[in-house]
Amino acid sequence: MPAFTATAPGKIILFGEHAVVYGEPAIAVPVQALQARAVINAVLSGKSGEIQIEAPDISLAADLKDLDIDHPLRVAVTEVAGENKLDLVPACRIRITSTIPLSSGLGSSAAISSALIRALSAFLGVQMTDEEVSQAAFEVETIHHGTPSGIDNNVVTFRRPVYYQKGNPMEFLSIQTPFHILIAGSGFPGNTRKAVSTVRESWLTEPERYQKIFSEIGNITRRARELISAGDPRELGPLMDQNHSLLQDLGVSTTRLDHLVQTARNAGALGAKLSGGGLGGHLIALVDDEVEAVRENLLEEGADSVFLTAVESSPPLSQAE
């Protein structure tokens, strides 16, 4: 019997993280160089419901039933089974691997869920649409992040640049003029769950002040979408700088992220900001001819990884391999 394999990419948020949780729009793009992969093999000698799961990146090798009931991998399997009205999944072995760093702001949890849900639906012989895969991944995201906006599960499942606003139909962005982003690791893990809950506490304490920051971020994101549609990406740089400063106001940046963002700008980046939940994790810098100078300076100043990604309209890919 063949193996059932599915993948999902990492992501970066170009504009609008955190504000998107409060109903403002955000723009996210897939990072195809980073991938989560789920491979499922039937165990013909096993009984239905016997599912072995291994994820060497987190040193996990267990029977699914021995994981906590709210373990994200277990919830992902339960979601697919429930969606397809199956009491028991046929015996199988699931292997999860990922090149997306964990706790990085690069969408690792959403990508793992999405790849697993897609591979499992293929293994079960049921067709799940992208919307259904994304919705099931969203349910798993609620365990990771508490109150996710839904942007991560959508961008990694649809694998295309998205303009996302809760409650509105999702828009795929067509990138008129492709541009380049350097993605740099701050050397410290991020913590999206904590960042999201810290922002929520601040918003509950000072609703007017925080609402104002969210709507300013929303305006930046709307302007960014116009520039992307007009094929004017260089102008995104100053908007990234403004977005970073508002993320500082939200309290989700760190001294190290601020330093690296400033380093990127000083070395010639057109703009830079943290990306994702923050409190560590990654920053992104819009670059043109000065890629090498920005990369070198970031590494000298403590970034633990720097790599280049192109932002372009990606055609939808086939669902499972």
Residue from 13, 89, 120, 284 binding ligand MEV (CB under 6 A): 13
User: Which are the contacts of 133, defined by CB distance < 8 A and separation ≥ 6?
Assistant: 114, 117, 118, 121, 157
Determine the Cα–Cα distance for residues 264 and 179; give it in Å rounded to an integer.
16
Determine the Cα–Cα distance for residues 79 and 142; give it in Å rounded to an integer.
13
Determine the Cα–Cα distance for residues 5 and 49; give it in Å rounded to an integer.
20
Number of residues that bind ligand MEV (CB under 6 A): 14
Q: Of 86-145, which residues contact ligand MEV (CB under 6 A)?
A: 145
User: Which are the contacts of 103, defined by CB distance < 8 A and separation ≥ 6?
Assistant: 189, 190, 191, 192, 280, 281
Residue from 29, 277, 279, 320 binding ligand MEV (CB under 6 A): 277
Here the tokens at position 113 are 């869920």
Toward ligand MEV, which CB reaches closer, 132 or 152?
152
The residue from 152, 241, 289, 304 that is catalytic is: 152
DSSP class of residue 147 equals: S
Q: Does 73 bind ligand MEV (CB under 6 A)?
A: no
Cα torsion at 49, 55, 58, 64 (round to 10°)?
0
Half-sphere exposure of 187 (CA within 13 A, CB side): 14
Nearest residue to ligand MEV, by Cβ distance, number only: 149
Toward ligand MEV, which CB reaches closer, 128 or 151?
151
- The DSSP bridge partners found for residue 10 are 31
Toward ligand MEV, which CB reaches closer, 17 or 241?
17
Of 43-51, 65-73, 87-95, 146-154, which part binds ligand MEV (CB under 6 A)? 146-154
Toward ligand MEV, which CB reaches closer, 149 or 263?
149
Residue 164: which of 148, 185, 177, 182 has the closest Cα?
A: 148
Is there a catalytic annotation at residue 152? Answer: yes
For residues 192 to 231, the per-residue mask of contacts with ligand MEV, x marking binding by CB under 6 A and - elsewhere, is x---x-----------------------------------
Q: Does 276 bind ligand MEV (CB under 6 A)?
A: yes
Q: Does 149 bind ligand MEV (CB under 6 A)?
A: yes
Residue from 116, 152, 198, 217 binding ligand MEV (CB under 6 A): 152
Q: Token match 């016997």: residue?
A: 50
Q: Does 24 bind ligand MEV (CB under 6 A)?
A: no
* Residues catalogued as catalytic: 152
What is the binding site for ligand MEV (CB under 6 A)? 13, 17-18, 20-21, 145, 148-149, 151-152, 192, 196, 276-277
